[in-house]
Amino acid sequence: MIEINNLTKVYKLSKKQMAEQKTKKNMKKAADDISLSAKKGEIYGLLGPNGAGKTTTLRCVATLLKPTAGEITVCGHDTVKEPEKVRESISFLTNEIKLDPQFSPKYMFNFFGRLHGMDEKTIDKRRELLFEHFGINDFQDKKIDELSTGMKQKASIAVSLVHDPEVVIFDEPTNGLDIVTARSVTDYLKLLREEGKLVIVSTHIMSEAEKLCDRIGIIINGRKVMDGTLSEILTATGTDDLEDAFFELYKEHNKEEA
């Protein structure tokens, strides 16, 4: 349902970015020949350190970035040739997308529902369900500006799910959340999996990947160095837990780059 074939994404760096990244090269290969496929009814996790290329990959899947090379299809639709079709079937959550601070979660939810062409009754039903699940009812009429980080994140998640999409693409969904709230998010992702939806998440939290994901793709320096179920990864690396497996792969593949 998501097919990524040989995705490469190269950013052109400004002089300022070159100075910031202490590099003389004016190009950065953020995704390097990544291929993977994820199916309905599974939670696929992209696991990798800061700067590995997780957000870049997910932004390409969500049609927000054009690949430099390679193709991606979502529910059979090419992300470059049919981006509107792809957008209809996905929900994309990233920490860079901010809700308008002057409006309330309820207002934003209804607004995005209408943008998706939903009728008022269906929007109300979805809102009641999602606001109840994520505990948003108590602050649904407050300005987003006045909410805590966790409250904002919960509101963003609920808004991104308004249209009940088939494919859910969440970039570090539990970022900044306490364990109670993080659990309500991961529980909801499991519920989506039970409904037969496809969920793809990025994380650098090993325990989250271990517990939540059916399959894990490990990304280091823009390359997918391994993917599989947790037990497949442990067997292939001869380790007992994901953190050890990750460091084995990190030692091997970070060396290659140096």
Q: Which residues bind ligand ATP (CB under 6 A)?
A: 11, 13, 17, 28, 30, 48, 50-56, 204
Give the residue among 165, 164, 144 at the shortest CA–CA distance from 156.
144
What single-letter DSSP state applies at residue 40?
T
Shorter beta-carbon distance to Mg ion: residue 186 or 202 = 202
What is the spatial order of strands in the sheet that 77-78 belongs to?
27-38, 2-12, 69-74, 77-78
**What is the nearest approach in angstroms of Mg ion to the Cβ of residue 97?**
12
- Which CB atom, from 52 or from 118, has the smaller least distance to ligand ATP? 52
> Where do contacts with Mg ion occur on this chain (CB under 5 A)?
54-55
Is the CB of 28 or the CB of 163 nearer to ligand ATP? 28
Report the alpha-carbon distance of residue 165 to residue 162 in Å, rounded: 8
Let me know: does 107 contact 147? Beta carbons within 8 Å: no
- Minimum CB–partner distance for residue 204 and Mg ion (Å): 9
Smaller CB distance to ligand ATP: residue 17 or 137? 17
Report the nearest approach of Mg ion to the CB of residue 62 (Å): 13
Which tokens hold the place of 224? 């997918």
101 binds, among ligand ATP, Mg ion, none (CB under 5 to 8 A by kind): none
How many whole angstroms separate alpha carbon 232 and alpha carbon 7? Answer: 24
**Taking a C-beta distance cutoff of 8 angstroms, is the pair 94, 60 a contact?**
no
Provide the CA 188 distance to its chain's centre, in angstroms.
14
Binding partner of residue 111 among ligand ATP, Mg ion, none, CB under 5 to 8 Å per kind? Answer: none
CB nearer ligand ATP, residue 53 or residue 105: 53
Minimum CB separation from ligand ATP for residue 204, in Å?
A: 5
Q: Measured from the CB of residue 104, what is the shortest distance to Mg ion in angstroms? A: 28
CA distance 258 to 238: 24
